[in-house]
Amino acid sequence: MRTEDAQTRNQNFLEVALGYSYDEAIAEAKRCIDCKTPKCVMHCPVNVNIPLFIKQLLEGALEQSFETIYKDNILPSICGRVCPQESQCEGACILGIKHQPVAIGALERFVGDYGREHGLVKPTPKPKTSFKAAIVGSGPAGLACAAALVAQGVEVTIYEALHKFGGVLQYGIPDFRLPKDIVESEVLALKAQGVTFVKNAVIGKSITIDQLFEMGYQSIFIGSGAGLPTGMRIPGENLNGVYFANEFLTRVNLMRARAIPTSITPVKLGPTVAVVGGGNVAMDAARTAKRLGAKRVLIIYRRDETSLPARLDEIHHAKDEGIAFHLLRNPVELIGENHEIKRVKVEIMTLGEPDDSGRRRPVGTNTYETFEIDTLIMAIGQKPNPILKDNTANLNTASWGGILTDERHQTSIPHVYAGGDVVSGAATVILAMGTGKEAAQFMLEDMRQQNQAA
Ligand X SMILES: Cc1cc2nc3c(=O)[nH]c(=O)nc-3n(C[C@H](O)[C@H](O)[C@H](O)COP(=O)(O)OP(=O)(O)OC[C@H]3O[C@@H](n4cnc5c(N)ncnc54)[C@H](O)[C@@H]3O)c2cc1C
Q: Which residues bind ligand X (CB under 6 A)?
A: 82-83, 136-142, 159-162, 167-168, 172-173, 201-204, 223-225, 227, 249, 280-281, 284, 311, 385, 387-388, 420-422, 426-430, 432
Contact 269, 294 (CB under 8 A): yes
Nearer to other proteins, 256 or 360 (CB): 256
Q: Which does 354 bind (CB under 5 to 8 A by kind): ligand X, ligand SF4, other proteins, none?
A: none
In 3D, which of 196, 379, 191, 400 has the Cα closest to residue 288? 379
Burial of 131 (0-12, 13-18, 19+ CB in 10 A): buried
Nearer to other proteins, 69 or 254 (CB): 254
The answer to the question of residue 12 lying near other proteins (CB under 8 A) is no
Q: Which does 432 bind (CB under 5 to 8 A by kind): ligand SF4, other proteins, ligand X, none?
A: ligand X
Query: Cis bond leading into 309, ω under 30°?
Result: no
Contacts of 182 (CB under 8 A, 6+ apart): 77, 78, 81, 116
Q: How far is CA 247 from the centre of its chain?
A: 16
The answer to the question of residue 238 lying near other proteins (CB under 8 A) is yes
Q: Which does 421 bind (CB under 5 to 8 A by kind): other proteins, ligand SF4, ligand X, none?
A: ligand X
Q: Which does 108 bind (CB under 5 to 8 A by kind): ligand X, other proteins, ligand SF4, none?
A: ligand SF4
Which residues inside 68-87 make contact with ligand SF4, applying CB under 6 A? 73, 79-80, 83, 85
Dihedral in degrees, nearest 10, Cα atoms 256, 262, 267, 270: 120
CB atoms inside a 10 Å sphere around CB 234 = 15
Nearer to other proteins, 386 or 414 (CB): 386
Burial of 5 (0-12, 13-18, 19+ CB in 10 A): exposed
Nearer to ligand SF4, 403 or 433 (CB): 433
What is the C-alpha to C-alpha distance for residues 284 and 290, in angstroms, rounded to an integer? 10
Contact 419, 435 (CB under 8 A): yes
The answer to the question of residue 236 lying near ligand SF4 (CB under 6 A) is no
First CA to last CA across the chain, in angstroms? 56
Q: Which does 311 bind (CB under 5 to 8 A by kind): ligand SF4, other proteins, ligand X, none?
A: ligand X
Contacts of 211 (CB under 8 A, 6+ apart): none
The answer to the question of residue 284 lying near other proteins (CB under 8 A) is no
The answer to the question of residue 449 lying near other proteins (CB under 8 A) is no
What is the C-alpha to C-alpha distance for residues 220 and 201, in angstroms, rounded to an integer? 15
No. of H helices and E strands in the chain? 18, 15
Taken in order 396, 400, 401, 404, the sign of the CA dihedral is: negative
CB of 448 to ligand X, least distance (A): 25
The answer to the question of residue 33 lying near ligand SF4 (CB under 6 A) is yes
> What mask of x and - would describe binding to ligand SF4 in positions 92 to 131, judged by CB under 6 A?
-xxx------x-xx--x-----------------------
Total chain residues near other proteins (CB under 8 A): 55
The answer to the question of residue 199 lying near other proteins (CB under 8 A) is yes
Q: Which does 445 bind (CB under 5 to 8 A by kind): other proteins, ligand X, ligand SF4, none?
A: none
Residue type, 316: H
**345 pairs with which residues across the strands?**
333, 370
Residues at the interface with other proteins (CB under 8 A):
161-163, 171, 199-202, 205-208, 211, 227-229, 231, 237-238, 240-241, 243-244, 246-247, 250-251, 254-258, 260-271, 292-294, 338-340, 374, 385-387, 390
Residues at the interface with ligand SF4 (CB under 6 A):
32-35, 38-40, 44, 46, 48, 50-51, 73, 79-80, 83, 85, 88-89, 93-95, 102, 104-105, 108, 430
